[in-house]
Structure formats: structure tokens, C-alpha cells
Structure 1
Amino acid sequence: MGKRLLILTAAMGAGHDAVAGELARRVARRGVEVCVLDVLELVPLRLGHGLRRMYEAMLRGAPWLYEGVYQAFFVSPRPPPASPLTALIARGLERRLPGPPPDAVVSTFHVAAQAAGLMRLRGRLDAPSLVLVTDFAAHRMWLHPGNDRYLCPDEASARSVAERTGRPAERVAPVVRPGFLRAHDGGRLRAEAGARPGERVVLVSAGAWGVGRVTETARGLAASGRYLPVVLCGRNGRLRARIREGGIGYALGWRDDMPGLMAGAYALVDNAAGQTCREAFACGLPVVSYRPIPGHGRDGAEAMARAGLSAFARSPAGLVETLDLLGSEQVRKAWAQRVGTLFDAVRAEHVIRAALG
């Protein structure tokens, strides 16, 4: 009988699902049977859907409230205690575990890591449990001593996770679709956005939900006279309409051709420090963090900047100045060398195949 892998994720935005999907594709190519589960679907009474809507609503309309939640529950050097949500997901997972049981479990979302770790610690999960950490700043909700191994984005986060959990942690290469590593544009983005000669196209990312103060960001870039903001509005139709009606850049909805868009851009201005940044790294597109969403977005942006993987602009003038600096081939080459080390690490699927036995 072939090996079986269970991947746990959550549709909070699109990043966690993107990692889970690409990881499933890679592992399945080796003849492993892969099952991907959204842990929020395991919560009874559709409470998982409510949690997702509440999180999105806070990011859209009350970011200060999410900051309070983050400080109260996510920020601590110690692993968190078991929560009712974790227990509910663990019970739901026990009922939904595909049979025969998996040979390994991988979590790509922090609450999934909590549930799998709890089951492993209490002897209700026999398979090794691995956690693929998708944040450069691994907050305590990622951490549970019941998990067997942590796969982290860089050495700094791996050291921190190992110290805080007492479990093995190692650096793995970013899990991105192969198209980002060989993307070409051929001038299509400039033509689509209507860029003038000498005008540099800058992608402004607002995530799948189109959140954050990206309208102000686009306005500042457009006012510079040398940068054309192309705002990635995700599935937020209202944001796309505001950008278009305001005449402050070019607005795009949800797109499946992100490799080509990134290949045609000068830089990415990002506010979440998530999967979009990894995709930009793979494309060789410099990243500037600006006005990040609170909590994990801000902490991730700080961590990437400390590692030299991105810049963190603190003001409208600072954003333009940072983008100006990226016009230097020497600066871009030095940045590319630092980012290249991320992809020199072992691939996550190799570690997972070893865990499958």
C-alpha cells in the first residue's frame, strides 16, 4: 500500500491554501496519496466560517481590534494553552481522518498546528506531525510541543522555534509554484496598464481580500510622477472601483497570471509579508513593505527587513526614496543574492517524504 499524507490548511486569505496546494502537487508526483483538509470546515455549526468572516471584517474595518487580539493571544515566548477552538478542531479531525490513517500530517496554518500537536501529545495521532511555518515571524500560535518537526522560512525563525518548543526546526525553501521561477512578461503588463515611457510599474498588493490602506499608497506613488501603481485588489470589487474612479493607478481584480505580472514589474509594495512576498522572491522582484496590516503582517515585515530580504518604508517619502534606490543595479544584485539563499535550502517535500518513511 502506498504512503498517505494529510495536509491541514485554512482558507484565511489565499496564502495558506496556495502553500498546501503546491505542496500536495509536489508530494503526489512521487506516488503519495495526498488529502488536503481545511480545518475551519471541521468546526461545528459553521463557526469556522464565522471566524473567517470576523477576521476579514477586523482587517477591513477595525484593524485596531485585530491588533488587540494579536497582542493578547499571539505574542508570547511560550506556547499557548489549549483553547476550545483547538479542541473542537481536534475532535472534528478525529472524525474526519481518512482511512486508512495517514503516514504523516503537515500543517500550513497555525490553528491546524495546534490541533495536530494536541492530538499527537494525547496519543490520538500516531503519524508524525510536521508544521510548515508560513510566517517569517513565528508567533506562539504556530507552536505546540506535540508536533514532531518544524519547517521554517529562514535560520532565525528556525532557531527561535526550536528554542521555544524544544522540537527540531530547520530552514526549508519557499513553497511556490514553479511558474514563478521562470516567469516572463514580454511587456504585457506595461501595455495593459498604459505605462508611459520611463514610468516604472509598481505592483501594490492588498492580498486576496483587498485589505489595508492601499488607496493612499497608490495615490502617493502616482503623485511621484515616475511610478505607476498597479493595485492588486484581490476579490475586493469596491477597492477596485475606488482605484479606478479616483484615477490614481491601474486596478486589477483576482488574477491567475501572477508570475507574468511580477515578471513585468519594477517592484512589489506589500502589506502582509505573506505568500505574495515569497512569490516575488522567486520571480526576482524586489519587495518593499509599507503600511503593513497589524499583528503578523507588521511583525513579518520587520523580520524580513532584518534579514535583508525586503525594505520597510516608514513614510510616503520613504517609500519613494526606497523605490528610487532599487534603480541601482548594484542594489538589486545584492538583494537578489540574499534572497537566493532562501531557495538554496532543502525543499519541504524532501523532509516530508523522509517523515513518511
Structure 2
Amino acid sequence: MTRILILHASLGAGHLNAAKALCNAFERISEVEVRSEDALSYANSLYRSAVTQAYKQLSEKAPQLYKAFYEGSDISDLEKSLDNNLTWAKLERPFFADLEQLLKEFDPDAIVCVQQIPSRLLQILEQDAPMAKPQYVVVTDVIAHSTWINHGVHGYFLPNILSANLLIQRGVNPAVLHVTGIPVKLEIMEPKTKEEARSRQSLPHTLPIVTLFGGGLNARRVKSMVVDLLASPLPILLIVVAGRNEKLVEALEEVTDSAQVQLRKLAEIDYVDDLLVASDLVITKAGGLITSEILARGTPMVIVDPIPGQEEQNADVIAAAGAGVQLRLPEMVAPAVQYLLKRPDRLAEMHQSALELGQPRAALNIVEHILTDLHARRVMQTLETSELETSAVEAGSLETSAIPAGIVSRTAHAE
């Protein structure tokens, strides 16, 4: 039985969703035991609270400061970035005693990290282990920041060739870089038609559908977009998914249909994929996981309010590929939606561009590569062990043959 440990960190939903996708992919393979854990749940409560609050406050309330920190900490020199990540790991290690215990108890054959914190810790923790376990890193940002690069990584799984080329330019060995895409839910590999998805969720078949995912967006700005969209002269169904954003639910409480636009307000749902297939256009922030799911389904998107840093990079890649448009002003969302809905040829081009960029099979590709690599390592270890044993036997034979026969006889007789 091959044991796989997947480590993520609860800093945004993306890492968790990537871990879930990989876990489900491993579970499809017989003779594999997989376990997925939040590394921060094994950290000292003081550290965990400080990190999560810092991320939340910077990304939501001080985005420009977050951007400055994100870009300032992206080190182009490979040795300097490795040293910097190692220094961070040494500082963090005292807060992760429980994580060390998890590694000892579960004793995995391989560790897969979908976030930087557990990956950089492993280069320290594995030094003290009796035998280091292969570590694989799944990058969940469209562009790999230098904090993803650590000692002892046997393979990096990347979202696109651009990210691979940037790491090669920084000096990372190309042999450990694999372009697979960001792992998304396995159901996205299953073919679905727009008609089937709409019927399943009781959605109209004749109206254009625009879905706005507002869970990670500012409630005030989302309400402004929704009000503008409701003034559209085009008949559409506007679906707003608030997720766990309670402020957004409250902000939209008194907002209702208009003369031409039907409004459907949803909280947390479990049929996001059906909405992606059913929609003619999606409005979203530029999180690595949600945009990867949208791309894999080929749905054109309008990207709004990307978090400065990695989400801006995600948005740039999508816009450059022609799979979506990026807007900075919320007032431009409604005009852009109307413009696109009036031009089905443009939407068709965006659909095709999204499909070319999307990777619906990413999770299975990563899993198959890891298991193939582990099998090759076992074969190599078996061969090396066999060669050592053969060498030992041959060495013993040589030593025996070097003893004169008379001495052997006398020794035997004396015994």
C-alpha cells in the first residue's frame, strides 16, 4: 500500500480545493492510501492566528501593501530565494511540533504540498528523518512566486509553460518541472451540455445567463455591479453566488428583479460546475482555482477586483490568452456584459481560447506522474540493493579464496 500525504494551508479556499481534487484523484487508484491535512491546524495557535489574520487583513483591507510585500518577496536569484525560504522555515519550525508528529505517525511514501508553508518546512523536517520522503509541489498560482522553490523537491507541477519558463530562467532544473495545469474537481472532466445543466438546476433555456461569483469580493462593489446589470436593456438571468459572504447576502437583501433582468441570489452551493456550464458569461475575481475551473469548462469570463499580486498575474494571463476581459472599474462591468452578449462570435472565440488554456485532467495527470515516479524509485532502490548484496558476496568470496587451503583445513580441524 502506497501512502500519500497531501498538505495544504487554510489561506484562501483555493489550496483546499486543489488538495481535495488531488485526494479524489488518488482515491481512484487501488493500493493507495491518501490523507489530506491543513498544515496550519498542526501549528501553534499563536502562529496560526497571526498568519491567517495577517493574510486576511493585508489582502482584503490593505491590498496595495499586500502587493508590495508579494512583489518585494519574489526573489529572482535562485540561491538567494532558496536561502530566504530556508531561513523562514527555521524560524517557523518551533511552531510546528505537531506536524513533525504527523509525519512520524503516518509515515507517508510521498508528500504533496499545494501551498508554500508546508513545503518549506519539509526541507527542515526531512533532514532529521531517518529517510527523506519524496516531496512534490503543486503550484496553485498561474505564475510561480519564488516562495514555492525549496530544497529537496522532486517535482514541481505547474499551471502553464510560462511559469515553467520563468523558473528555468531562475535556474531551476527543467527535469523537475511538469506543466499539468492546476488540479480542479474531477467532475469537470465529465462532458455536460448547457441544456442538461440548465434543466438540472431549473434554469431557463432561452435566456442568456450571467453568473457573478461574489463570495470573495467587496459587498458594496458587488451590489453596485448588480444594480447596474439590473438596468440592462437585454433580457438576461443574473445569478449572484454569495458563498459564505454574509455581508453580500445582507447587501442584496432588498435588491430584486428589474423589467428585463431576472435576479437569482444564492448563498453557498454545491453545484458550481453546473453553473459554469449553464452560463454564457461568468463574472469573478481571479483566484487560481476558480479561474482554472472556468477555463476547463470553456466559459468566457469578466475578471474584477483581482487581489494585487498573484491574482493580477492570473488575470493578465487569462486576458492575454483571449479567454476573458479584465476590468478595474465596477461601472464598466454592465457595459462589458452587454457588449459581449450582443456579439456571440466574440463569446465563441473566448470559449475556444478558454478551452485551450484549461486543464480539466490536471489532477489525474499529477497523480499518475507521482505514482509512476515512486514506482521508478522503488525499482531503482531494488536494483541498488541487489548490486550491493552481489558486491558483498563477491567481496566475501575473494577474501575466502585469498586464504591458503592448508590454513582453512587446519582451522577446520582445530574446531
* TM-score, scaled to structure 1: 0.85
Counterpart Cα distance in 1 of 2:91 and 2:209: 43
Structure 1: where are the runs of 5+ without partners?
none
Task: Name 1:141's counterpart in structure 2.
Answer: 147
Alignment of 1:124-163 (within 5 A): 124=129, 126-163=132-169
CA distance in 1, matches of 2:335, 2:248: 26
Q: In structure 1, what is the Cα distance between the partners aligned to 2:171 and 2:97? A: 23
8 Å CA contact 2:299–2:354 kept in 1: the answer is: no
Equivalent position to 2:276, from 262, 284, 297: 262
Distance 1:231 1:100, change over 3 A: closer
1:14 matched to 2:13: yes
Q: Does 1:350 align with 2:364?
A: no
- Counterpart residue number, 2:409: none
Q: CA deviation at 1:90?
A: 5.9
Residue in 2 that maps onto 1:230? 239
**Deviation per CA, 1:107-144, whole angstroms, max 9, x where unpaired?**
11122222234445x46461111111111022222222
Once the 2 structures are TM-superposed, how far is the Cα of residue 10 of structure 1 from its aligned partner?
1.4
Contact 2:138 2:182 in 1 (8 A): no
Higher Rg of the two aligned structures: 2
Q: 2: distance between equivalents of 1:319 and 1:22?
A: 31
1:303 to 2:317 alignment? yes
Could you say what secondary structure the match of 1:185 adopts? helix
Counterpart of 2:210 in structure 1 is 202
Give the whole-Å Cα distance in 2 for the aligned partners of 1:23 and 1:40: 19
More helix by percentage: 2
Tell me, in whole angstroms, the C-alpha distance in 1 between the residues paired with 2:354 and 2:95.
36
SS in 1 for 2:105: coil
**Cα gap change, 1:197 to 1:24, in 2 (>3 Å):** closer
Deviations 1:25-65 (A, max 9, x none): 11122121111121111221342144223423444433344
- Provide the secondary structure at the position in 2 that maps to 1:245: coil
Cα distance in 2 for residues equivalent to 1:244 and 1:253: 12
Structure 1 segment 72-111 matched on structure 2, within 5 A: 72-73=72-73, 75-78=74-77, 79=81, 80-81=84-85, 82-83=87-88, 86-88=92-94, 91-99=97-105, 101-111=107-117
CA distance in 1: counterparts of 2:11 and 2:106, whole angstroms: 29
* Contact 1:59/1:211, CA 8 A, preserved across alignment: no
How far off its partner does 1:156 sit? 0.6
Give the aligned partner of residue 62 of structure 2. 62
Residues 1:337 and 2:334 are matched in the alignment: no
* Amino acid in structure 1 at the alignment position of 2:223: T
Does 1:325 find its partner at 2:324? no
Secondary structure of 1:170's match? strand
Partners of 1:240 and 1:164 in 2: how far apart?
45
Aligned length: 349
1:291 has 2:322 as partner: no
- Residue 35 of structure 1 aligns with an amino acid whose one-letter code is R
Residue in 2 aligned with 1:37? 37
Structure 2 counterpart of 1:112, from 99, 118, 121: 118
The amino acid across from 1:24 in the alignment is C
Aligned to 2:197: 185
Cα distance in 1 for residues equivalent to 2:34 and 2:95: 20
The code of the aligned residue for 2:37 comes to L
- The secondary structure found in structure 2 opposite 1:202 is strand
- Partner AA of 1:356 in structure 2: L
* Conservation of the 8 A alpha-carbon contact between 1:268 and 1:285: yes
1:68 deviates by 3.8
Deviation at 1:256, TM superposition (A): 0.9
Shift of 1:197: 6.7
1-side partners of 2:205 and 2:19: how far apart? 39
2:24 is matched by which residue type in structure 1?
Answer: R
Q: 2:251 is matched with which residue?
A: 242
Cα 1:355–1:322, aligned 2, differ >3 Å: closer, same or farther?
farther
2:137 is matched by which residue type in structure 1?
V
CA contact (8 A) 1:265 1:285 kept: yes
The answer on whether the counterparts of 1:176 and 1:279 sit within 8 Å (CA) in structure 2 is yes
- Check the 8 A contact 2:285/2:305 in 1, yes or no: yes
Alignment gaps of 5+ in structure 2: 258-262, 376-415
Question: Is 2:170 the counterpart of 1:164?
Answer: yes
Kindly indicate whether the alpha-carbon contact (under 8 Å) linking 2:241 and 2:265 is maintained by their aligned counterparts in 1: yes
Q: CA deviation at 1:303?
A: 2.4
Amino acid at match of 2:156: Y
Change (3 A) 1:302 1:10: same
Against the structure 1 CA distance between its residues 190 and 345, is the aligned structure 2 distance closer, same or farther, given a 3 Å change threshold? Answer: closer
Quick check: 1:216 aligned with 2:237? no
TM-score by length of structure 2 reads 0.74
Q: Distance in 2 between matches of 1:163 and 1:101?
A: 35
Preserved CA contact (<8 Å) 2:282 2:299? yes
Q: 1:217 to 1:292 in 2, by over 3 A?
A: farther
**SS of residue paired to 1:12:** coil
Question: In structure 2, do the counterparts of structure 1 residues 86 and 188 end up closer, same or farther at CA, with 3 Å as the change threshold?
Answer: same
Asked if structure 1 preserves the Cα contact closer than 8 Å seen for 2:140 and 2:289, the reply is: yes
